[in-house]
A and B are shown apart, each in its own frame.
Chain A
Amino acid sequence: MLMNKAAAGDILQGTLDMLILRTLVMGPAHGHTITQVIEHTSENALDVEQGSLYPALHRLEDRGMLSSEWGVSENNRRAKFYRLTPKGHKELAAATSRWRQMTRAIGLILGESTD
């Protein structure tokens, strides 16, 4: 799933969903682009295991967070582009705020100052 497999679980699964949604805020993208963006933006700290990306994309689409259509990519190849739906926007906001609360809570426990 994500880099640290030992810590895998619901939190991280949800995290991948959140990262995908965040990536798509910038506009529609296909699977490969999404991986690249996550890896580059995180300065290669996060390495998306590509095998788990597609199940996540399909799950999100089934739940109505994403819509998809086939199109032509920047490399002039056929690719499936994912787009954020209004429901996806809402979910991203909710997921982001959940994440912030959690990191803050963990931070407090670890004795880091917040803000």
Chain B
Amino acid sequence: MNIERFKDRKRKDEDLAEEIDSHLAHEQDASAARGLTPEEAHRQARLKFGNPRSVREAVWSYRSVPWLEDLWRDLRFVLRSLAKTPGFTAIAIIVIAVGIGVNTAVFSVINTVLLKPLTYPDPQSLVRLRNTFPQGSNPFASVPEFNVWRQQTSIFQQVAASDFGGAGLNLTGGDHPLQVQGIHVTANYFSMLGAPVIAGRTFTAAEDQPNGGRVVVLSYGLWKSRFGGQSDVVGRTIQIDGQPYLIIGIIGKGFLTDPAGDLWLPFQFDLTSENMAHFFLTAARLQPGVTLQQANAQLKLVADQFRRQYPGGGGPLDGFGAISLEESMIGDTRQPLLVLLGAVGLVLLIACANVANLLLVRASVRKRELATRAALGAGRIQIIRQLLTESLALSLAGGLLGLILGFVGVRLLLLAVSPGGLPRIGEDGSAVTLDPAVPLFTLGVSVLTGILFGLVPAISASRPNLAVTLNESSSRSGIGFRSGKLRSVLVVTEMALALVLVIGAALLIRTFVKLESVDPGFDTHNVLTMAMSISGDRFQRTSGVAQLVHDGTDRLKTIPGVVAAAATCCLPLQGGFGLPFDIVGRPKGNARWTGSANYFDLSWSYFSTFKIPLLRGRSFTEQDNGSAPGVVIINETMAKKYWPNGDPLKDRLLTGVGMGPIFAEPARQIIGIVGDTHNRALDEDPFPVMYIPTAQMPDAETALNSRVAPLWWIVRSNVEPHTLVKAISAALRDASGGLPVAHIRSMEEMVALNTSRQRFNMLLLTVFGSSSLLMAAIGIYGLMAYSVQQRTQEIGVRMALGAQASSLRNMVIRQGMTLALIGLAVGIGGAFWLTRFLASFLFGVKAWDPTAFIATPILLGAVALIAVWIPARRATRVDPMQALRFE
């Protein structure tokens, strides 16, 4: 295409006009030369040439791109006409922006959690290996399992293990020891996940052997923060829990893991170990061409072999399995996120219905304008195109605002409420970024929205009924029958959708209230907890830990305001370790053990500090130490489950049955029963728990615990506990020889954290529900107010003929409420069908909870009544005389 063609159109046109004049003059000269009169010559020349304007138009249109011109003209026209009605424009854009904003917000989270591929190379071939049971599965592995998995070279290229850094490590050697997340990994972990090494190297196989030396790899973040990004860090030595470690490498910024690590240490597994403790995760890379199904089939055989080799290594129905690493990271968050997406989809639909309604009103006000345009020759398509341009301009403006709104919104949301353990979103949702997928999604939604709410009003407005419209007087040319019906359908739809959302919100609110009213089993008020990493050498033996607990507790009690203090491996609501046990003397048949329960090791003052009630027997005392006979306290659930009729206090427990030599110990006497606490979550029933004094733990078990979990300190105070943080930290630093504490939280904060997912869902759905309720109310109000305004004259006539004001009011209310009630009926039906998808969110309420299903429609009905009442009252204020003169 020749670009010359489109340049300088205006100048060329003037040029052409002059050229045509010149042509006519020459023609006139020629005719005059043949003897015609000047007038006749002039006439003949014009006749011969034809219409100069049409020549100019022909050249002009040859110099233009028609659809672009049309679009530009439509757009300018639309912007002018929108600017003339700023109120309408603002409301429409805001409604769309809210609808698109919530969609953008939820999509940006979904994009990060579900859609973005893992940042590792060839993520499809990465799998998580796990143990499977008839009841489910878990991703935790033991060393013997890891050992057989890594031998399956026919299906796996690489098998690598990593732990959670749960215990934390202390960077010592400076004035301020720092507690860091140190993750133990096998040597091939970095190469399997394609970690970018920006300096030095990662672990060799020799360094990953037992006694392979003290070496460490730093993360980018720690290198920057602790070492100021100095280039000569590799080769230096740092102190970790008082031991020198050689820094051998630094990993680049792009390497994301869950949980994030500050530094990495070699696992140094003893592969001959028979330790059955499950304390780390295993991932593998499949051989090229091997499918997940093939890998799982092979693992089934491996599990059978494994059980023969280690009779204690699993039940007959237990097995091994592999799932995609991505799938295992996403876990069970897919469905909740999709439900949220569905909810915001409904919000957007309501917004569309609302704007469509506004456009219908606008179209009916502009009927004469449109009819005039049609009379002047605008085709139906041209009118539809112009109206669609208008709705697209609105939806794109709304989309742009919505993009900003959504992005700011999601930031605020992620900061304000912890999203309840959503994976892959980084620290405070920092991984939720504006990558190209999000604006593209918003653009797509905006265009779709514009067409969705614009098309129906445009088509209905373009219906040619020129004569009728033009003949109608402007004040009466109101709601035509068809667009009136259409608007009613839209209002009914809005009510129905809003009801579905509000019922959803009501169910989640009831869930949250139920959760809040769950008794956690201990007194959460004025209790502060904090974690201390005890990975140093002196805590590899029970006596060292017991000494620390003793000294620390003593010092804490001297702080003014502290009422009680204790230490433990595991806090309520955080879950503990699981351990199988036998009841001494009770036959167990073919079973490998009598049962299995959580076990918590703790200092003697734990129950009094948490105010957990002692139901029977006695509590621990300071005398239940390493030299005293072994004792154990169980919780009520355990007592009821395993001693439905008998007396637990007469029995002894053998813990760690079949778990290998680390857990072997003599039987313990059950000395007491305490009340239940919720171990993992408020919406889960308490598990059976065995409580064991820290001072009586076997050394090997203490060493393992020190490695996988920090020591938690618990302080009860009679003042706001956060005011004591400084004194407590100082006391514990003195008692431990300089160890820092981290993760300082009150138990009230822990409870809030524990219910954060429910709080997140509830808040979101409440926001969605109330905004949709507001939009539906505006919709029904708008419809009735408009209809009253249009019928002013009719109402005036009726009043003049003696109709009572009250009966007129009731007429309007009846019409409005009929629509509202139809909408509510449809909505109840829809909600019955849709709330089943909420079932997994709910606790203590059914998906068809009668309270929600009765209260919510009443609430919506009341809101609708208010929205209808206002225009209805206006109808009664019509002055008949004025109404009749309204023309």
A binds B: yes
Stretch of B25-33, B86-94, B430-438, B603-611 at the chain-chain interface: B25-33
The CA of A44 and the CA of B304, in the complex, are separated in Å by 105
Q: Which residues of chain A have C-beta atoms less than 8 A from B26's C-beta?
A: 30, 32-33, 73, 75, 77, 79
Flag if A50 contacts B48 (CB, 8 Å): yes
B2, B20, B25, B29: the one contacting A54 at CB < 8 Å is: B20
The CA of A32 and the CA of B12, in the complex, are separated in Å by 18
Flag if A77 contacts B22 (CB, 8 Å): yes
B22, B30, B50, B59: the one contacting A50 at CB < 8 Å is: B50
**Closest residue to B21 on the A side, CB-wise?**
A78
How many A-B pairs with Cβ below 8 Å?
64
**Closest residue to B15 on the A side, CB-wise?**
A80
Interface residues on B, range: 20 to 34
Q: Whole-angstrom distance from the CB of B15 to the nearest CB of chain A?
A: 7
Per the 8 Å Cβ criterion, residues 10-69 of B in contact with A are 12, 15-16, 18-20, 22-23, 25-27, 29-30, 48-51, 54-55, 58-59, 62
Q: Which residues of chain B have C-beta atoms less than 8 A from A27's C-beta?
A: none
Flag if B49 contacts A75 (CB, 8 Å): no
Q: Which residues of chain B have C-beta atoms less than 8 A from A111's C-beta?
A: none
Q: Which residues of chain A have C-beta atoms less than 8 A from B538's C-beta?
A: none
Q: Which residues of chain A have C-beta atoms less than 8 A from B55's C-beta?
A: 51, 54-55
Per the 8 Å Cβ criterion, residues 11-59 of A in contact with B are 30-33, 36, 49-52, 54-55, 58-59
Instruction: Kindly supply a per-residue 1/0 record for chain A positions 57-81, scoring 1 wherever the CB is within 8 Å of any chain B CB and 0 otherwise.
Output: 0110011100000000101011110
A51, A59, A79: the one contacting B22 at CB < 8 Å is: A79
Q: Which residues of chain B have C-beta atoms less than 8 A from A75's C-beta?
A: 25-26, 29
Q: Whole-angstrom distance from the CB of A53 to the nearest CB of chain B?
A: 8
Q: With an 8 A cutoff between CB atoms, is B5 at the interface?
A: yes
Q: With an 8 A cutoff between CB atoms, is B622 at the interface?
A: no
The CA of A33 and the CA of B29, in the complex, are separated in Å by 12
Q: Whole-angstrom distance from the CB of B58 to the nearest CB of chain A?
A: 5
The CA of A62 and the CA of B12, in the complex, are separated in Å by 11
The CA of A79 and the CA of B23, in the complex, are separated in Å by 8
Q: With an 8 A cutoff between CB atoms, is B175 at the interface?
A: no
Q: With an 8 A cutoff between CB atoms, is B258 at the interface?
A: no
Q: Which residues of chain B have C-beta atoms less than 8 A from A59's C-beta?
A: 62
Quick one: given A51-B49, A63-B2, are A58 and B12 in contact (CB under 8 Å)?
yes
Q: Whole-angstrom distance from the CB of B544 to the nearest CB of chain A?
A: 92
Quick one: given A77-B22, A80-B22, are A58 and B62 in contact (CB under 8 Å)?
yes
Flag if B19 contacts A31 (CB, 8 Å): yes
A-B contacts, 12 of them at CB < 8 A, read: A31-B19, A32-B27, A32-B30, A49-B50, A50-B49, A51-B50, A51-B58, A54-B16, A64-B4, A78-B22, A79-B22, A79-B26
The CA of A30 and the CA of B25, in the complex, are separated in Å by 12
The CA of A65 and the CA of B50, in the complex, are separated in Å by 26
Q: Whole-angstrom distance from the CB of B106 to the nearest CB of chain A?
A: 52
Quick one: given A58-B16, A63-B2, A77-B22, are A51 and B54 in contact (CB under 8 Å)?
yes
Q: Which residues of chain A have C-beta atoms less than 8 A from B18's C-beta?
A: 78, 80
Report which residue of B30, B54, B55 has the largest number of chain A beta carbons within 10 angstroms of its beta carbon.
B55
| Interface residues, chain A, with chain B CB atoms under 8 Å away | 30-33, 36, 49-52, 54-55, 58-59, 62-64, 73, 75, 77-80
Instruction: Kindly supply a per-residue 1/0 record for chain B positions 604-635, scoring 1 wherever the CB is within 8 Å of any chain A CB and 0 otherwise.
Output: 00000000000000000000000000000000
Per the 8 Å Cβ criterion, residues 52-109 of B in contact with A are 54-55, 58-59, 62
**Closest residue to A33 on the B side, CB-wise?**
B26
The CA of A62 and the CA of B15, in the complex, are separated in Å by 14
Q: Which residues of chain B have C-beta atoms less than 8 A from A79's C-beta?
A: 19, 22, 26
The CA of A79 and the CA of B48, in the complex, are separated in Å by 19
The CA of A55 and the CA of B29, in the complex, are separated in Å by 23
Flag if B59 contacts A58 (CB, 8 Å): yes
Q: Which residues of chain A have C-beta atoms less than 8 A from B20's C-beta?
A: 54
Flag if B19 contacts A51 (CB, 8 Å): no
**Closest residue to A49 on the B side, CB-wise?**
B50
B4, B16, B22, B50: the one contacting A62 at CB < 8 Å is: B4
Flag if A62 contacts B5 (CB, 8 Å): yes
The CA of A64 and the CA of B5, in the complex, are separated in Å by 11
Q: Which residues of chain B have C-beta atoms less than 8 A from A50's C-beta?
A: 23, 48-50
Flag if A31 contacts B23 (CB, 8 Å): yes
Q: Which residues of chain B have C-beta atoms less than 8 A from A77's C-beta?
A: 22, 25-26, 29
Quick one: given A50-B23, A78-B22, are A55 and B62 in contact (CB under 8 Å)?
yes
Q: Whole-angstrom distance from the CB of B383 to the nearest CB of chain A?
A: 31
Q: Which residues of chain A have C-beta atoms less than 8 A from B15's C-beta?
A: 80
The CA of A79 and the CA of B136, in the complex, are separated in Å by 93
Flag if A30 contacts B22 (CB, 8 Å): yes
Report which residue of A49, A63, A75 has the largest number of chain B beta carbons within 10 angstroms of its beta carbon.
A75
The CA of A78 and the CA of B62, in the complex, are separated in Å by 26
A30, A51, A54, A80: the one contacting B51 at CB < 8 Å is: A51
Q: Which residues of chain A have C-beta atoms less than 8 A from B5's C-beta?
A: 62
Q: Which residues of chain B have C-beta atoms less than 8 A from A58's C-beta?
A: 12, 16, 59, 62
The CA of A78 and the CA of B21, in the complex, are separated in Å by 10
The CA of A36 and the CA of B31, in the complex, are separated in Å by 12
Q: Whole-angstrom distance from the CB of B599 to the nearest CB of chain A?
A: 89
The CA of A89 and the CA of B780, in the complex, are separated in Å by 73
Given contacts A30-B26, A31-B22, 13 further A-B contacts (CB under 8 A): A30-B22, A32-B26, A32-B27, A33-B26, A51-B49, A51-B50, A54-B19, A55-B55, A58-B16, A62-B5, A75-B25, A75-B29, A80-B19
| 3 nearest A-B residue pairs (beta carbon) | A32-B26, A62-B4, A51-B50
The CA of A51 and the CA of B15, in the complex, are separated in Å by 16
**Closest residue to A34 on the B side, CB-wise?**
B23
Q: Which residues of chain A have C-beta atoms less than 8 A from B54's C-beta?
A: 51
**Closest residue to A36 on the B side, CB-wise?**
B30
**Closest residue to B5 on the A side, CB-wise?**
A62
Q: Whole-angstrom distance from the CB of B819 to the nearest CB of chain A?
A: 59
The CA of A80 and the CA of B14, in the complex, are separated in Å by 13
Q: Which residues of chain B have C-beta atoms less than 8 A from A31's C-beta?
A: 19, 22-23
Per the 8 Å Cβ criterion, residues 359-379 of B in contact with A are none
Q: Whole-angstrom distance from the CB of A34 to the nearest CB of chain B?
A: 10
Report which residue of B12, B25, B26, B49 has the largest number of chain A beta carbons within 10 angstroms of its beta carbon.
B26
The CA of A52 and the CA of B56, in the complex, are separated in Å by 10
The CA of A78 and the CA of B15, in the complex, are separated in Å by 12
Q: Whole-angstrom distance from the CB of B8 to the nearest CB of chain A?
A: 11
**Closest residue to B19 on the A side, CB-wise?**
A80
Q: Which residues of chain A have C-beta atoms less than 8 A from B62's C-beta?
A: 55, 58-59
Q: Which residues of chain B have C-beta atoms less than 8 A from A78's C-beta?
A: 18, 22
Q: Which residues of chain A have C-beta atoms less than 8 A from B12's C-beta?
A: 58
Q: Whole-angstrom distance from the CB of A2 to the nearest CB of chain B?
A: 15
The CA of A54 and the CA of B26, in the complex, are separated in Å by 15
Q: Whole-angstrom distance from the CB of A83 to the nearest CB of chain B?
A: 15
**Closest residue to A78 on the B side, CB-wise?**
B22
The CA of A62 and the CA of B16, in the complex, are separated in Å by 14
Q: Whole-angstrom distance from the CB of A72 to the nearest CB of chain B?
A: 11
Q: Which residues of chain A have C-beta atoms less than 8 A from B22's C-beta?
A: 30-32, 73, 77-80
Q: Whole-angstrom distance from the CB of B54 to the nearest CB of chain A?
A: 7
Q: Which residues of chain A have C-beta atoms less than 8 A from B16's C-beta?
A: 54, 58
Q: Which residues of chain A have C-beta atoms less than 8 A from B4's C-beta?
A: 62-64
Q: Which residues of chain B have C-beta atoms less than 8 A from A36's C-beta?
A: 30
**Closest residue to B27 on the A side, CB-wise?**
A32
The CA of A79 and the CA of B21, in the complex, are separated in Å by 9
A32, A62, A63: the one contacting B23 at CB < 8 Å is: A32
Q: Whole-angstrom distance from the CB of B5 to the nearest CB of chain A?
A: 5
Q: Which residues of chain B have C-beta atoms less than 8 A from A55's C-beta?
A: 55, 58-59, 62
Q: Which residues of chain A have C-beta atoms less than 8 A from B30's C-beta?
A: 32, 36
The CA of A59 and the CA of B16, in the complex, are separated in Å by 12
Report which residue of A54, A59, A64 has the largest number of chain B beta carbons within 10 angstroms of its beta carbon.
A54
Q: Whole-angstrom distance from the CB of B17 to the nearest CB of chain A?
A: 10
Flag if B50 contacts A54 (CB, 8 Å): no
Q: Which residues of chain A have C-beta atoms less than 8 A from B50's C-beta?
A: 49-51
Q: Whole-angstrom distance from the CB of A73 to the nearest CB of chain B?
A: 7
**Closest residue to A63 on the B side, CB-wise?**
B2
Q: Which residues of chain A have C-beta atoms less than 8 A from B19's C-beta?
A: 31, 54, 79-80
Q: Whole-angstrom distance from the CB of B489 to the nearest CB of chain A?
A: 52
